Amino acid sequence: MRSSSLATLAVTVAVAGWLGAAEARAAAGYVPLGDSYTAGPLVPYPVGPLGCFRSSHNYPHLAASRIGLPLRDASCSGAKTSQMFTPQPLGAGSPNPPQLNSLNAATRVVSLTIGGNDIGFSGIVQSCIAANPFGSPCRRRYVAGGVDAIGARIKAVAPLVAGVLRAIRARAPRARVYVVNYPAILPEDGHGCWPQMPISFIDAPYLRAKVRQLDRMLAKQAAGTGARFVDWYAASIGHDACRPASTRWVEPLIPGNWAASIHPNRRGMQGAAEALAAAASR
């Protein structure tokens, strides 16, 4: 073989090796999965599909540098557990691909925040808005005949979350998996802050208990599938939507910071990122 051919072959092999190593580094990344509490709607600045309302300052982006792996953010506002497996329609343009498609055997870290849309959390909050602070539209709607409809929904979602976690393990068997729960929306005690958060004095403790029940369910599913649990709720106590704009991590019905209504703002995302990065460092 001529020396020029040998040189060409050597260069080709070197380039192929470099590209292969680059692809391996990219594959061995951090993949966040989840809904709007992962994606960060209206938190500056938007990235990815517009219909997903994904922010460059959501908790995955803020945590990625500390985790030390390339980021492939698959999260999308409005996602349910089913959208981990199937495309999510976005109204205009192409759908968001199944979020689990972003995983492979080389993925090293996966985080997941999911379940809120499965129980219909946005509709629940809208139903619980009260013009009268002494009423109880929330409990009247969801608790009847000794049956707690929201509690029943949370129990029904548990096996769906477990199914997602098992699918993550199957597709990314070498990954460390972190379940990040939901932050505090209302103060840890007391009767809320009507009208800033227009939930009645009677309904506020009930709604707070449902968020905590949802988070306990997520913790249980994490433990049952070998995932690690990141307690965003505990970190967010004292930073609920009733706090001043300079302190809160979750915005009230009418936001005072860049974030969607009753969603985490940039401070909240930073709080989640710190909790996740701390867990990933252990």
- Catalytic residue numbers? 36, 263
CA dihedral 63, 65, 70, 74 (to 10 degrees): 20
Cβ neighbors of 211 (< 8 A, separation 6 or more) are: 182, 184, 185, 186, 233
The pair of structure tokens assigned to 275 is 């909790």
Question: What interhelical angle do 203-225 and 121-128 show, nearest 10?
Answer: 170
The pair of structure tokens assigned to 42 is 């209206």
| Three-class DSSP category at 11 | helix
Amino acid at 272: A
Task: Give bridge partners of residue 46 from the DSSP assignment.
Answer: 55
CB atoms within 10 A of CB 60: 31
Phi, psi of 259 (to 5 degrees): 180, 160
| Three-class DSSP category at 53 | coil
Amino acid at 277: A
Strands 176-180 and 109-113: parallel
Cα 138 from chain centroid (whole Å): 25
